[in-house]
């Protein structure tokens, strides 16, 4: 069942709300940017994500095929979410940083199922051969 959570960047300029079901699974990926930012996310549909504050505080980073927008706070540098359109993950999506949620219990996070993606090789349905470091 979906629950609503609230999240923010470190300095608090960017604030958002997300409706999600942790039991549907969270994701870690080995692509170049997820590795460097150690991103742990949950995929939601655009209608389940709401930016509450900080539109003007966000910087937008795109690279490679430019399918996704990596949005981070230009003051504190924290990446709060990614959005874009990738056919392999069902079209338009938001991927919200679970580490940016302010009203979730550590135990809820610890028990959430994690799925690994081999984004580095564009093999979104496969798990990478090594995942322990992600």
For residues 47 and 22, give the distance between their C-alpha atoms in angstroms, rounded to a whole number.
17
Instruction: Select 35 or 75, whichever has its Cβ closest to Zn ion.
Output: 75
# residues near Zn ion by CB under 5 A: 6
What one-character-per-residue DSSP string does 62-74 give? --TT--EEEEEET
Are 42 and 31 a contacting pair, CB within 8 Å? no
Q: Which of 76, 86, 109, 112 binds Zn ion (CB under 5 A)?
A: 76
The torsion of the CA quartet 33, 68, 117, 7, rounded to 10 degrees, works out to 80
Q: Examine residue 73 and tell whether it contacts Zn ion (CB under 5 A).
A: yes
Question: How far is the CA of 1 from the CAs of 19, 23, 27, 49, in angstroms?
Answer: 10, 8, 18, 16
Instruction: Select 76 or 112, whichever has its Cβ closest to Zn ion.
Output: 76
Token duo for residue 21: 């079901």
* Site for Zn ion, residues 11 to 40, rule: CB under 5 A: 11, 13
Stretch of 58-66, 68-76, 79-87, 106-114 lying at the interface with Zn ion (CB under 5 A): 68-76
Q: Examine residue 58 and tell whether it contacts Zn ion (CB under 5 A).
A: no
Stretch of 18-26, 70-78, 116-124, 126-134 lying at the interface with Zn ion (CB under 5 A): 70-78
Residues of this chain that bind Zn ion (CB under 5 A): 9, 11, 13, 73, 75-76
């Amino acid at each position: 069942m979906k629950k609503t959570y609230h999240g923010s960047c470190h300095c608090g300029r960017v604030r958002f709300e997300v409706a999600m079901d942790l039991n549907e699974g969270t994701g870690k990926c080995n692509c170049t940017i997820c590795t460097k930012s150690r991103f742990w996310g949950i995929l939601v549909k655009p209608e389940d994500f709401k930016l509450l504050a900080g539109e003007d505080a966000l910087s937008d980073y795109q690279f490679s095929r430019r399918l996704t927008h990596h949005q981070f706070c230009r003051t504190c540098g924290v990446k709060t979410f990614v959005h874009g359109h990738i056919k392999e993950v069902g079209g338009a999506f938001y991927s919200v940083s679970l580490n940016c949620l302010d009203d979730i219990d550590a135990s809820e996070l610890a028990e959430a199922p994690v799925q690994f993606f081999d984004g580095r090789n564009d093999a979104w349905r496969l798990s990478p051969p090594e995942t322990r470091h992600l």
